[in-house]
């Protein structure tokens, strides 16, 4: 009987601790810009910043990032990359697959010298999508 009680207590502790490690972060976007490589493989110029107001969710429990734009963008996190920090930025990067199965790197960058402004970069190698974001 004591063993059963011990197993029940351990089960509840295990479930409780498991839930404390999962996080769900919510952001809101304020603008989007795109940078593409031209036919010669050179980077062009950033597009004009377009004002957008959509929600972004980073769910570490489900290992996914969702951008709730007109067409929902879903990124399955394949690998959590080590955090990088220098004098100007803190970078959290994730190796991902998007809705179409394409590989990309999604990064959340905090700009230390810009009032801790946050930006979300989606890098496909030949194009980069940038969202200005802030915490909800």
At 70-104, the pLDDT tens digits run 999 999 999 999 999 999 999 999 999 999 999 99
pTM of the model: 0.82
Q: What is the mean pLDDT of residues 38-63?
A: 95
Question: In the chain, what are the helix, strand and coil shares in percent, each to the nearest 5?
Answer: 15, 50, 30
pLDDT tens readout for residues 24-37 = 999 999 999 999 99
105 pLDDT band, cuts 50/70/90, is very high
Domain ranges of the chain: 23-135
User: Using an 8 Å Cβ cutoff, are 103 and 96 in contact?
Assistant: yes
Using DSSP's 3-state secondary structure scheme, residue 13 falls into helix
């Amino acid at each position: 009987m004591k063993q059963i009680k011990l197993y029940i207590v351990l089960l509840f502790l295990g479930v409780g601790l498991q839930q404390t490690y999962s996080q769900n972060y919510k952001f809101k976007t304020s603008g989007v810009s795109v940078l593409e490589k031209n036919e010669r493989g050179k980077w062009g110029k950033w597009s004009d910043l377009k004002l957008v107001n959509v929600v972004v969710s980073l769910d570490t429990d489900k290992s996914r990032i969702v951008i709730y734009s007109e067409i929902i963008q879903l990124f399955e996190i394949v690998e959590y990359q080590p955090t990088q920090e220098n004098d100007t930025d803190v970078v959290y990067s994730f190796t991902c697959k998007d809705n179409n199965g394409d590989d990309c790197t999604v990064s959340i960058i905090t700009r230390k010298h810009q009032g801790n402004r946050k930006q979300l970069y989606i890098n496909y190698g030949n194009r980069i999508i940038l969202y200005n974001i802030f915490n909800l």
